[in-house]
Structure 1
Amino acid sequence: MFSVLIRDAVIITVDAQDSGYAPGWLSFAEGRITGVGPMSSCPEPGGFDEVLDLPGHLVMPGLVNAHTHSAMVLFRGRSEGHSLLTMEGWYNTIRVPELAMEGRDVGPAVALSCAEMALSGTTTFCDQYFFAEEIADAVAAAGLRAVIAYGIVELGETERGMAELEKAAAFVKAQRRGEGRVVPWFGPHAPYVDNSESLLKAEVALAEELGCGLHLHMAAGPEDNEETQARYGQTATQALEQAGFFRGRVHAAHCLDLSEEDIAVFARAPAASVVQCASAGLRSGRAGICPSVALREAGVTVALGTDNVAANNSYDMVVEMRIAGHVASHKEGRAQPISSRELVRMATLEGARALGLDHETGSLEPGKAADIAVFRMGPGWSETPEVEAALVYSGSGRDLRHSFIAGEQIVRDGELTRRPFAEVRAVYSAAYADFWARADAKADVA
């Protein structure tokens, strides 16, 4: 039974008591945390296969990026000056070139995204996209933990929508036969915008039958509520509740324009969560800001995500915590309505809870998976009453030194252990050139 002892580090557990130790120790064996505490209770090192002495380092739960589209690293820098939270911006800069995408493009793109996430402290992420099988294969090869929602876009083509739903169901069933770190879901892209009401009801019924979650975009752009306001005089959130959408697990991204009644819909749902993508929202030019303070006060789980790196350009979840803190202060008109400690919780345990994985990850507690991020406490990390303040407002994902997922060391001394980053990048660069040559050629013909 391979065992590891980490000692003499600053440790934040993100458990129910927000326990922290400075300095402290943590141990794990066979992928599970076996102990954590102050250095005064540290076990003898002789009983462990490996001992890591980490003074000057922060040990914490691995970060959870609760909303992204990992294959869309192919679009990084391609939507500058366009808002991806409008139909026009998304359709013209993303959807049109996506029509040239093939399965062979996806693996190298997801591999690069997984590398960037791992190297900045993310151990778990939630994805929504097409080519879900290729995404799952790339995630398995990289060793990360992921919820992968099979992206479903109908855009008025009823037969296409139902065919995609059938493929999504097959994906869920196939992934459940494995024993890996991938959890399969359905991903209705944008209800009432590119998923019709009839398709939404079919998605709800099948999700209930299979017991899987629904990951979607909601209240992200001005088009989101147009159809339901015209037909029913209510928002899409309220219409979805009436259609039964909120009976199961629902994970909604963005949520920039939620009304008080919309917030109440989330609050009374049995398993609904919101993921704030603060950087993507600001870059979109939208005036709306996710009402994370009001949602949390209503008892709704609020996680954090980067969105895709065409909308954001970065997978750095440390920076995402910082931006989420800034926009909350701006929206509420008061200083730090969400504390640094709470922002860390949103990026770890609350993210895990939103994905139904809080029994497995999100905090450093005995019995849970050893999903761990270790950050160097270098420049900017001088003494603070709470180390979370230094992490959120002075730190960076580039401070990451080590990370573990289920006890496996994925990053050692800032380098990937499964595959060199240079190799990941080289394969991706070739795939990028090939994809855009095809996409540009198709655009020229059109």
Structure 2
Amino acid sequence: MTRELIHSATLMTVDPQDRVVDDGWLVIEDGRIAELGPASSRPGSAGFDRVTDLSGHLLMPGLVNAHTHSVMVLFRGHAEGHSLLTMDGWYNTIREPELAMVAEDVAPAVALSCAEMALSGTTTFCDQYFFAEEIAGAAGRAGLRAVIAYGIVQLGDEVRGAEELAKAAAFVEGQRSSDGRIIPWFGPHAPYVDNTEALLAEEVRVANRLGCGIHLHMACGPEDNEETLARYDTTASVALEKAGFFGGRIHAAHCLDLSDEDIAVFARAEAASVAHCASAGLRSGREAICPVVPLKRAGVTVALGTDNVAANNSYDMVAEMRVAGLVASHRQRQAQPLTSRELVRMATIDGARALGLEHEIGSLESGKAADLVAIDMRGPGWSPAPDLATLLVYSGSGRDTRHVWVAGERIVDDRRLTRRAYGDIRADYQGAYDTFWRRVAAAREAA
């Protein structure tokens, strides 16, 4: 049994009472939070394997990136001027070069993405893409906690859809990690656009049997609703509810074009959540903005995600909190309709809840996994303020992250990755990036 005492930090617990403990302490035992409290009850240093003084630091739950595509760091900067939330923009800037991708491209890209996430305070991410086995392997080696959704694209081919679902089921059955950090799910890309109603219903049936969730894109653009409006005079969300789709754990990304009726569908569902990707939505040029405030008023869990870094260009979840707060003010025409504490909860415990992990991560509470982030509050922007959450969201940065623990393992120690040096990760990625884009150029030339 290993024991670590962390002391003299400001604890932002994100527990049900949203307690903030000045000059607090926390004990990690065998990867879990054993106890925590104020300085007056701090235990002595004897008997601990490691004692860490975090004076001048904020200690909080690790951030949860509730929607991304980690392999797509390969496309960073290649989609400028194009909206990835339209079929044309997505196909021409992403899907066409994506056809040249091979399994060997994946691990170096995911390793870089995991490094960027860890170094900016993310301890858990929800990924959806092809090459799910390679993503799971790379995420496991990085030490992060990850929900990996096996990408299912049917494109109108029933045989292909059945084959993809069978592969996804085999992935789920074979990839559950013994340490609980890698969690396999299903990842149909989007309803009606490339997964039929019948396939989606079958995916829910199989997912429920296997005990996994479903992560997909919804209401990203008018394409989602075109078929159901023509066939049923309803939106995709309403049509899918009638088909039984919302009978499983459904985690939907973007959700820009939700009507009041759609919001009611999510609210009625037993385990439906939304991943709000504010930066990606703004960069897409879409007029629609995810109705976060109405969703939350209806009781729907709303988490935060960066989306891929071709759409966003950054994995900084502190920046994502800030953008989500700003865009909510703009959409609601109201100053700060989402408080800073709500934004922090969206990036931590609400992200955990969306992934079915709220009993394991997302807050500093005894018994939970020790997924923690220590943020240095001694630098520029961290002047005294009456509300610590506001200081973090609107003045802080993920680059203020100093230490990161996942299941009690310190994967970032004094701004350095502990499992593998960032320089080595970056060098491997450079080679993979150059090879991939040379292959894309050759394919274009041969076409």
TM range (shorter): over 0.9
Structure 2 match to 1:209: 209
Distance 1:320 1:163 in 2: 36
What's the counterpart of residue 432 of structure 1?
A: 433
1:414-434 per-residue CA deviation (whole Å, 9 max, x = no partner) reads: 000000000001001101111
Aligned residue for 1:262? 262
How big is the shift at 1:383?
1.0
Written as runs of structure 1 = structure 2, the 5 A alignment for 1:399-414 is: 399-414=400-415
Q: Which amino acid aligns with 1:211?
A: G
Amino acid at match of 1:249: R
- Give the letter for the 2:284 counterpart: S
Equivalent-residue separation in structure 1 for 2:20 and 2:205 (angstroms): 44
Deviation at 1:177, TM superposition (A): 6.5
Structure 1 counterpart of 2:443: 442
Q: Which residue of 2 aligns with 1:159?
A: 159
Write the letter of the residue equivalent to 1:437. R
Q: Which amino acid aligns with 2:217?
A: H
The ranges of structure 1 where at least 4 consecutive aligned residues each deviate by more than 3 angstroms after the TM superposition are 177-180
AA in 2 matched with 1:183: I
SS at match of 2:433: helix
Whether the 8 Å CA contact 1:140–1:180 is kept in 2: the answer is no
Q: Show the 5 A alignment for 1:93-132.
A: 93-132=93-132
* 2:305 and 2:317 in contact (8 A); partners too: yes
Distance in 1, Cα, partners of 2:440 & 2:205: 36
Name the residue aligned to 1:380: 381
- Which residue identity does 1:418 align to in structure 2? R
> What is the aligned partner in structure 2 of residue 365 from structure 1?
365
Where in structure 2 are the equivalents of 1:293-312 lying within 5 Å? Answer: 293-312=293-312
Let me know the Cα RMSD of the aligned residues: 0.9
Written as runs of structure 1 = structure 2, the 5 A alignment for 1:151-230 is 151-176=151-176, 178-230=178-230
> Given the superposition, is the C-alpha separation of residues 177 and 310 from structure 1 closer, same or farther in structure 2, using an over 3 Å criterion?
closer
Q: Does residue 353 of structure 2 align to residue 353 of structure 1?
A: yes
**Partners of 2:385 and 2:391 within 8 A in 1:** yes
Match of 1:430, as an amino acid?
Answer: G
Secondary structure of the equivalent of 1:409?
strand
1:118: Cα distance to partner? 0.2
After TM superposition, give the deviation of residue 222 of structure 1 in Å: 2.1
Give the distance between the partners of 2:158 and 2:101, measured in 1 at CA: 22
Amino acid at match of 2:79: S
> Mean alpha-carbon deviation: is it higher for 230-239 or for 154-163?
154-163
Q: List gaps (5 residues or longer) in structure 1.
A: none
Compute the displacement of 1:165 (Å).
1.1
Distance 1:136 1:291, change over 3 A: same
Deviations 1:164-214 (A, max 9, x none): 111101100001364441111100101000112222122122112212111
Q: Which residues in structure 2 correspond to 1:333-352 (within 5 Å)?
A: 333-352=333-352
Q: Secondary structure at the match of 2:223?
A: coil
CA contact (8 A) 1:12 1:59 kept: yes
After TM superposition, list the pairs within 5 Å mapping 1:34-73 onto structure 2: 34-73=34-73
1:419 aligns with 2:396: no
Could you state the TM-score of these two structures normalised by the residue count of structure 1? 0.99
- The SS at the match of 2:150 is strand
Letter of the 1:171 counterpart: F
| Counterpart residue identity of residue 279, structure 1 | S
1:297-336 correspondence runs (5 A): 297-336=297-336
Partner Cα separation in structure 1 for residue 425 and residue 216 of structure 2: 29
TM, length-normalised to structure 2: 0.98
